[in-house]
Amino acid sequence: MFRENLANTSTFEPMFFHALLRFLHIIFFASWFGTILASLFLLKALESKLTSPDDHNTEYSAFLQRFLKLETKVADVAVIGVIISGIMLAALFHGWTIQVFVKSALIVLQIVLTISYIMRSVRSISYPCSKSEYGNWYRLFGISLIMFFLVLVVTFFLL
């Protein structure tokens, strides 16, 4: 079968391109998810340092800000990669079905919920802060992880 496909490039190339696009789509989605988990773990590790009146709060706060800037760059590339590869998969191979629109809507909803919660509740945190105020970080990651769960459940089990 492989030799026949190799000889007939008209069927081999589209299959290869589809597999490559799917691979990239999954890698971008996993990278996006990984940045969220990495941030959650770092914030959990820094919680005691950023909620106690310690002399090193400014160092830990600066470290957190630097990490979040780098994490945001990686997450932005991953999100853009998910969107572009998803559009290419839909346009070239799967078509614009209801499943594609549902997945797209869930991803857009995740982005909107995350950004709006950051603007409303996380941006204003200054360190040291109270544990309840620091809990806004955990609520943000709760939103993100729930949305990732919904996207995966809908993608693999409901559509």
Write down the residue that tokens 């009146």 correspond to.
53
Q: Which strand (E) or helix (H) includes residue 73?
A: helix 57-89
Q: What is the pLDDT of residues 12-33, one digit of tens each?
A: 688 899 999 999 999 999 999 9
Average pLDDT of the chain is: 90
Sorted by sequence, the CB contacts under 8 Å of residue 130 that are 6+ apart come out as: 51
Average pLDDT for 103-131 = 94
| Residue-wise DSSP of 24-44 | HHHHHHHHHHHHHHHHHHHHH
Sorted by sequence, the CB contacts under 8 Å of residue 44 that are 6+ apart come out as: none
Decide if 101 contacts 109 (C-beta within 8 A): no
More confident position, 37 or 2: 37
- What does each C-alpha distance from 50 to 35, 72, 117 come to in angstroms? 21, 20, 20
Query: Does position 115 have pLDDT exceeding 70, yes or no?
Result: yes
Q: What are phi and psi of 78, to 5 degrees?
A: -65, -45
- What does each C-alpha distance from 71 to 9, 77, 92, 120 come to in angstroms? 40, 10, 31, 20
Distance, CA of 39 to CA of 145 (rounded, Å): 12
156 falls in which pLDDT band (50, 70, 90)? confident
Distance, CA of 54 to CA of 74 (rounded, Å): 31
Sorted by sequence, the CB contacts under 8 Å of residue 149 that are 6+ apart come out as: none
Write down the residue that tokens 């081999």 correspond to.
12
Percent of the chain with pLDDT over 70: 92
Q: What is the pLDDT of residues 127-139, one digit of tens each?
A: 999 999 999 999 9
